[in-house]
Amino acid sequence: MTNIIACIDGSALSENITTASVWAAKQMTCPLTLLHSLEKEPPRTDEDLSGTIGFGSREHLLDELITLDAQRAKLALEHGKLILENAKAFALKAGAKQIELLQRHGNLVETLADLEEETRLIVLGRLGTNHAMDAHTIGSHIEQVARTSHKPILISIGKFETPKNFMIAYDGREAADNAIARIAQSPLLLGLPCHLVMAGENTKERRAKLEEAQNILEEEGFQVTSSIQSGKIYPVLTQYRNEHSIELMVMSAYAHSKVRQFFVGSNTSKMIIESNTPLLILR
């Protein structure tokens, strides 16, 4: 059975992530898995102890550090369990029915890859435990997960409120068409007014592509407002979002090569960094 995977790290956004994941689980009638990943730390070695202290003293300090590391690992494990239990209580109060708690050792990106076959949607917070709440930045794992996961990713930004509408950033390419097909067949956004927006030149061919995408959504019961706005992608989407009070953004992730994106960035990254509304990222 596929699940909604909510990545809980104990940061200030954890309740918002839980709220978003409960909403998604209700919409999709899916079980909810609350995941806490314990990152692996490199083991200490004798080379970690700098200076010219004697061999015996160095060995003694190394033994104490190893013991301290073991204690820290045990405390981290217990702390993670408490984080998950608190998130479960919050999710139950919010109306979730089927909840599983999962604690894994290792990198979050690798953990999500291991769970991909049983995952329907991943829910993440834009920021993690090492970032300020008002920081316009991306948490350490967001971009990696968005680049590697083949599952949709819902990114919570600030306090999560049930969205009353959503906007799809559409460019007429194959990835965007695949996203339209996935949205049309999913119950996640069904019933919400849809704004289908294309940035750039208003040509006959592009109008035809936009109309085709609109028809696909409307055939599945979506109420769609479509528009082609002249200008570059990022400013066009941002302006439209603000003017129409869009409450959820939907985008395809990283349309170009990974190498090019690594060096010059992407519109997807800009939207994640600057957005004040939740984003649904589709691959």
Same domain, 251 and 123: no
Q: How far apart are the first and last CA of the chain?
A: 21
Tell me: the pLDDT tens digits for 37-67?
A: 887 655 555 455 555 555 566 677 777 777 7
- DSSP string over 116-181: GGGEEEEEEESS-TTS-TT--S--TTHHHHHHH--S-EEEE-SS----S-EEEE--SSHHHHHHHH
Q: Which of 156, 179, 196 is the last residue of a domain?
A: 156
Whether residue 167 sits in one domain with residue 152:
no
| Least confident piece of the model among 8-22, 54-68, 201-215 | 54-68
Pair (175, 134) in one structural domain: no
Q: Please give the model's pTM, rounded to 2 decimal places.
A: 0.82
| Torsion region of 41: left, alpha or beta (phi above 0 gives left; psi -120 to 50 gives alpha) | beta
Average pLDDT, the chain: 83
Same domain, 8 and 115: yes
Residue type, 234: Y
Domain boundary among 114, 137, 156: 156
| Cβ 95 vs Cβ 26: under 8 Å | yes
* Residues 28 and 62 placed together within one structural domain of the fold: yes
- Identity of the residue numbered 9: D
- Among 10, 32, 9, which Cα is nearest to 20's? 32
pLDDT at 259 over 80: no
Residue 121 or residue 66, greater confidence: 121
Per the structure, the count of domains in the chain is 2
- 167 shares its domain with 152: no
Same-domain check for residues 13 and 111: yes
For 281, list phi and psi in degrees, rounded to 5: -105, 125
Chain mean position to CA 101: 19
Percent of the chain with pLDDT over 70: 81
- Helix boundaries (H) for the chain: 14-28, 55-94, 108-114, 142-148, 174-185, 204-219, 233-243, 258-264, 267-274
| Domain extent at residue 80 | 1-156
Map residue 111 onto helix, strand or coil: helix
| Res. 252 pLDDT band, cuts 50 70 90 | confident
* Percent of residues, the chain, with pLDDT higher than 90: 54
Give mean pLDDT, residues 148-155: 90
Same domain membership, residue 115 and residue 59: yes
**Same domain flag for 197 and 100:** no
Quote the DSSP letter at residue 52: S
Residue after which a domain boundary falls, among 124, 156, 188: 156
pLDDT above 60 for 255? no
Indicate if 226 and 103 belong to the same structural domain.
Answer: no
pLDDT category at 267 given cuts 50, 70, 90 is: low
200 band by pLDDT with thresholds 50, 70 and 90: very high
Q: Residue 45 CB: number of other CB atoms within 10 A?
A: 8
pLDDT for residue 219 is more than 70: yes
State the CATH number of the domain containing residue 128. Answer: 3.40.50.620
pLDDT at 263 over 60: no
CB neighbour list of residue 201: distance below 8 Å, 6 or more residues apart:
230
165: closest CA among 194, 134, 196?
194
If asked whether residues 107 and 188 sit together in one domain, one would say no
The answer to whether residues 29 and 145 belong to one domain is: yes
